[in-house]
Amino acid sequence: MKKILFICTINRMRSATAQVMYENDDRFEVKSAGTDKLARIVINRELLEWADAIVVMEKHHRNKIRAKFPDIYATKRIVCLYIPDEYDFMEPALMDVLKSKFEDVYQRELLQ
C-alpha cells in the first residue's frame, strides 16, 4: 500500500478533504498536513519521511518543503495538483477536481 501525504496551507479544506476521500481506498494509506504554522497538522520531518509520495495542492507548498526540508525535497516524489484555495471542506466541486487530478496522477504513475 502506497503512503500518500496530502498537503495544503492550513490542512482544513483541500488536504483534509483528500484524506477523507482516500482513507478507505485499498490502494493507499493517507495522511494530510499544512504548511502554515496555524495548520490543523503542521508538516514535519516525521510526516514527510513517512510518505512514499507527497501530493501538494499548489506550487508554493512544494517550495516550502524545498526551503525547510531540502534533503527530503531532493529524495521524495512530490506532485502538485494545482488546486487553488477556493473551496470548502468536502465541497462537491472540490471532491470532483481532487478525484480527477489525483486519479490522473495515479494512472500516469507519477506517484512511483
- CATH number of residue 27's parent domain: 3.40.50.2300
**Domain with 70 in it:** 2-107
Q: Number of folded domains in the chain?
A: 1
Does the pLDDT of residue 5 top 90, yes or no? yes
Instruction: Give pTM, 2 decimals.
Output: 0.96
The H or E element spanning position 62 is: helix 59-68
55 located within any domain: yes
112 located within any domain: no
Model confidence at 112, pLDDT cuts 50, 70, 90, reads confident
Nearest-angstrom CA–CA distance, 46 and 51: 9
Does the pLDDT of residue 42 top 90, yes or no? yes
Nearest-angstrom CA–CA distance, 9 and 106: 22
DSSP letter at 110 equals T
93 located within any domain: yes
Share of the chain above pLDDT 90, in %: 98
94-106: per-residue pLDDT in tens?
A: 999 999 999 999 9
31 located within any domain: yes
